Structure 1
Amino acid sequence: MNLTLDEIQNFKGKYPKQIWSLFFSEMWERFCFYGMRGMLVFFMISQLKFDDEKANLQYGATQAFVYAFTFIGGLFADKILGFRKSLFWGGLLMIIGSLILAVDPHEYFFLGISFTVVGTGFFKPNISSMVGQLYKPNDSRADAGFSLFYAGINLGALLGGYLCIAIGKGELFGDMISQNVRWNVAFGLAAIVMVISLINFVFTQKSLGSIGLQPLEVLAEGRSGKMPKWKEYGTYILSLIFIPLIMKMVSVPEYTDYFMWIVGPLTLIYLFYEMSKVTESERKKLWAALIFILFSIVFWGIYEQSGGSLSIFAAKNLNKDLLGLDPNGVNNSAGAFFIIFLAPLIGLLWIWLIKKKIEPNTIIKFGLGFIFLGLGYYTLFATRLFADLQGITSLNFFTLALLIITLGELCLSPIGLSIMTKLSTKNLQGMMMGLWFLASAYGQYVAGIIGAGLAKADKNSTNYDALITYTSGYKQLGLYAVVAGVVLILISPFVKKLMQEVR
């Protein structure tokens, strides 16, 4: 079915039909990613015998490199591979990484993680970019489409986030799976679902028309020609060469510090170079995108305690008063559970507000996202009110905090994906989407440092002392989030001018 781009974009109703196929590919990839992410800190503490502080730093380093490579993956997709080939190559690397961990997660932990880091970098930004191309520029239905797509992300996160760690810990199927292979099975499950994701994408390509195809090479005389194979194969080889380097840098968090201090400034220099080649109108939009990106670093630095300090908090300080569920499984998957139900409703809410001509602009949505995030962390602080003398508190109230934080995420993350495609020039879409995820890398990096700071405790401290330390830290993070939200709302008129016609 060879559809033209106009035929794809001139769809009737709220959603283009192709979004459902991309939805399922992304869903299974996110099962793999969030399943593995949810296991990292617990596995490092319980199996590799890292202390809490080291585990948080390792988690931050790993996640930082995952998101940093989305920038590189987006760049290579723009210039050489195209979205489709980049996505498929990334999926293959993720499968290999998961299989390595399934064979022996104790011996080959950092090798398997390194394959997953590079693979995610090639997969993640490019499927989001293809979703953006299903819509014409300034199509008001795009926000609703990205909210639906975000629900797919979180359906995978819900399933993977709960099942993988529950299997690894023996909370699920513990009587069926031998204790000495539980973690192998958990990592192997991530590999199986990634295979399903790629198979689904193979069939999806038939309905995508020209979206995501390999770009043409611009020749010296101004003509366009087919991309040379040596550039494509060179990209594959270069990405494999990066794996041992990533393995070393992830295993030693100090190296991550050097990387993050170098890659950020270099990336901004390259962005400014690209901005010098566009029109003044396009440049203003890119400045607006950069403001969104910088604030998102603050958001993710606070939000991403879920895989780090909150994972330790769930393991040590929460009871099972929510239907007897495993606290770590709830921590990993509750946000995704809420998004599945709330994302389509929020998307429809934006459409309804558009019709009523009272929809808040994107920067105000971002501000609201920060305020909800702050309120959620104040609720985490309040869990101390339900604690017993052993430092054990209510999983129910903890889950309420995750619900509030999820409302903040829904105001920011799917809108962020959408606004990057709207504010980017056509030839920079992959790079800008990658830059959005690179900001997440810095957020993850900051999150690891924050989590390590919260994990520092006196050796003679009790579990109750740890509860007080963590909740006091969450109160402080809540304050930072609320202040950032207020600042965003105050500067919204200025950013709105930079965005021009984009809403």
Structure 2
Amino acid sequence: MNLTLDEIRDFKGKYPTQIWNLFFSEMWERFCFYGMRGMLVVFMISQLGFGEEKANLQYGATQAFVYAFTFVGGLFADKILGFRKSLFWGGLLMIAGSIILSLNPHDYFFFGISFTIIGTGFFKPNISTMVGKLYRSGDTRTDAGFTLFYAGINLGALLGGYFCVAIGQGDVFSDYIPHDKTWNIAFSLAAVVMVISLINFVFTQKKLGPIGLQPGHPLSDQPERKIKKWQEIAVYIGTLAIIPLIMTMVSVPQYTNYFMYIVGPLTLLYLLYEMTKVTPAERNKLIAALVFIIFSIIFWGIYEQSGGSLSIFAAKNLNRDLFNLNPNGVNNSGGAFFILLLAVPLGLLWIWLGKRKIEPNTIIKFGLGFLFLGLGYYVIFATRYFANSLGITSLSIFTIALFIITLGEMCLSPIGLSIMTKLSTNKLQGVMMGMWFLASAYGQYVAGIIGAQMATAKEGSSNYDALITYTEGYKQLGLYSVIAGVLLIIISPYVRKLMQDVK
């Protein structure tokens, strides 16, 4: 606790020292999360006997709740727990969920998933907020810092996204793991890496100085707010008490529909209420943040086919012409691999352009993200021209599409984390980060619906017909992406005025 906030922010070079500590905690947490994400559809179809339409809807519901709870986690971090305690509590819940799944994934699938949903909600938005607090307002190195942090996210996603599903399917370490225990071991691996994440955070958090301390602590952002111990305990007990409710809602996608119809409008009303308490200048920044949030829903609804329909597409319509790799493993981890290649160079590019005052503003970066996303889906559409009569096409061409889509993600997602911290008022940091992830929840929800519609269209058809149906759908998604990107670029001058001094 020796470091002050000014000392932390007065760093030399490109990155603050503390970002590496947060990098590794997030890396292992993302291993757990993306390992789980990669296994969902495959496990539900192969082990639980779900049809493709139901698996897609179930995937969308599960992922929607994961991201929806980031708003809850951000809210409780702002008001009661602080970022550090929220992160630790979330990590414990994720470990518990992974252990439950490792013991009996077939009978306790939704029970274990419910723990990981709530745990991610408390962990994910708060570690991102702490990264933002490492920088002074207006520091041009902030985007580069979030880009590096995003590399940590994707190093974990690469490892977890490939190895968990490959272990579960018996593709790797099959000589050492009994055939009937592969899924148990895969879920156990998620628990082990989450333990590593928490251990890293506990032993390095002293370097964070006052960042993330509970409200009411003399060195926190809100020293005047006094939190009673019973309030903190009530949060812990309350989150455990609602697990049966979450389990019921996640297991029945129709309940997810009701939830999504209600939580979005209520959350927006709450934010509008909070906006009445701020200055006009702060309000304009929050309105600009809402523009980013709305467009991010569209982006994630299109992008997040990777865990749903593209998972099925990879399993049934892709060959192994890329180093004999598992197509589903590539689908789940390929984007993360490319982010690792691009993160540091792209971060340095933003710094280089920033020093010369020619760096594209954030809204233009968002627009470019959509254009790359659309181009990537057009390449997936083009895989139909490389297919054989059985509807099997090239994994290599598909991987090129993942590279292009990843360029789009790199223009949007890490920059989105950064811009939420820049446009938020001090007391709404956690709430706005939660709003950003709540937008992802709606994107995941939409992604599940889109994937289910594709699966419905292919029932009763041949594998080749399925390829045509899926790729036609991806062409439409590409078109929607391009339209959204062009629109963002057109309105960029108006959004820039709302952002004021934020770059």
Instruction: Tell me the equivalent position of 2:107.
Output: 107
Matched with 1:333 is 333
**Structure 2 letter corresponding to 1:318:** L
Alignment deviations for residues 186-231 of structure 1 (CA, whole Å, 9 cap, x no partner): 000000000000000001211000000001299xxx9935411000
Aligned counterparts of 1:359 and 1:235: Cα–Cα separation in 2: 43
Amino acid at match of 1:454: M
**Residue 428 (structure 1) aligned with residue 425 (structure 2):** no
**1:283 equivalenced with 2:286 (yes/no):** no
2:393 is matched with 393
Q: What letter matches 1:233 in structure 2?
A: I
**Take 1:474 and 1:458, find their aligned partners in 2: how far apart are those partners?**
14
Listed one character per residue, the Cα deviations across residues 8-61 of structure 1 (whole Å, up to 9, x for unaligned) are: 001000000000000000000000000000000000000001000000000000
Give, in whole Å, the separation in 2 of the partners of 1:241 and 1:159: 33
Shift of 1:459: 4.1
What does 1:258-337 correspond to in 2, within 5 Å? Answer: 258-337=258-337
Any idea what the Cα deviations from partners look like across 1:356-400, whole Å, max 9, x if unmatched?
211111000000000000000000000001000000000000000
Shift of 1:460: 3.0
Matched, 1:36 2:17: no
Deviations 1:226-285 (A, max 9, x none): 411000000001111121111000000000000000000000000000000000000000
> Amino acid of the residue matched to residue 386 of structure 1?
F
Provide the secondary structure at the position in 2 that maps to 1:138: coil
Q: Distance in 2 between matches of 1:68 and 1:459?
A: 31
Alpha-carbon distance between aligned partners in 1 of 2:241 and 2:405, rounded to the nearest angstrom: 39
* Mapped partners of 1:224, 1:259: distance in 2: 35
Partner of 1:137: 137
Map 1:109-258 → 2, pairs under 5 A: 109-216=109-216, 224=224, 226-258=226-258
SS at match of 1:491: helix
Residue type at the aligned position of 2:194: M
Q: Please give the alpha-carbon distance, in whole angstroms, between the structure 1 residues aligned to 2:22 and 2:182.
A: 31
Measured after TM superposition, the shift of residue 457 of structure 1 is 3.2
Q: Distance in 2 between matches of 1:223 and 1:302?
A: 42
Residue identity matched to 1:249:
M
For 1:339 and 1:181, locate their aligned partners in 2 and report how far apart those are by CA, in whole Å. Answer: 32
| Aligned equivalents of 1:336, 1:416: Cα separation in 2 | 17
Alignment of 1:324-473 (within 5 A): 324-457=324-457, 459-473=459-473
Structure 1 pair 223–97 and aligned structure 2 pair: CA distance change class (3 A):
closer
- SS of 1:76's equivalent in the other structure is helix
Could you tell me the percent identity over the aligned residues?
76
CA RMSD of aligned residues (A): 1.2
User: Kindly tell me: are residues 223 and 165 of structure 1, through their superposed partners in 2, closer, same or farther at Cα, counting changes over 3 Å?
Assistant: closer
1:64 alignment counterpart: 64
State the AA in 2 paired with 1:148. Answer: L
Amino acid of the structure 1 residue aligned with 2:161: G
Q: Which runs of 5+ in 2 are unaligned?
A: none
Question: 2:458–2:465: 8 Å Cα contact kept in structure 1?
Answer: no
Deviation, 1:428, is 0.2
Amino acid at match of 1:114: S
Give the corresponding residue for 1:481.
481
The code of the aligned residue for 1:452 comes to A
Is 1:217–1:227's contact at 8 Å kept on the other side of the alignment?
no
For the structure 1 residues 225 and 336, does the alpha-carbon distance in structure 2 shift closer, same or farther, using more than 3 Å as the test? closer
The runs of 5 or more residues in structure 1 that have no matched partner are none
Q: Which amino acid aligns with 1:200?
A: N
Matches within 5 A, 1:70-85: 70-85=70-85
Take 2:28 and 2:459, find their aligned partners in 1: how far apart are those partners? 41
**Is residue 70–residue 121 contact of structure 1 (8 Å, CA) maintained in 2?**
yes
1:456 match: secondary structure? helix
Where 2:242 maps in the other structure, the secondary structure is helix
**CA apart distance, 1:458:** 5.2
What does the per-residue CA deviation read over 1:285-315, in whole Å, with 9 as the maximum and x for residues that have no partner? 0000000000000000000000000000000
Q: Distance in 2 between matches of 1:245 and 1:265?
A: 21
Q: Deviations over 1:460-493 (max 9, x none)?
A: 3100010000000000000000000000000000
- Counterpart CA distance in 1 for 2:223 and 2:88 is 28
Matched residues in 2 for 1:419 and 1:393: separation?
39
Distance 1:394 1:151 in 2: 27
| 2:16 aligned residue | 16
Q: TM-score, normalised by structure 2?
A: 0.98
Helix, strand or coil at the partner of 1:415: helix
Distance 1:479 1:398 in 2: 18
225 and 442 in structure 1: CA distance in 2 versus 1, 3 angstrom threshold:
closer
| CA–CA separation in structure 2 for the residues paired with 1:496 and 1:456 | 42
Return the letter of the residue paired with 1:476: Q
Shift of the 269–377 alpha-carbon distance from structure 1 to 2, 3 Å rule, reads: same
Q: Which residue of 2 aligns with 1:490?
A: 490
Contact 1:35–1:165 (8 Å) recurs in 2: yes
Alpha carbons 2:53, 2:453 under 8 Å: kept:
yes
One-letter code aligned to 1:389: S
Aligned partner letter, 2:165: I
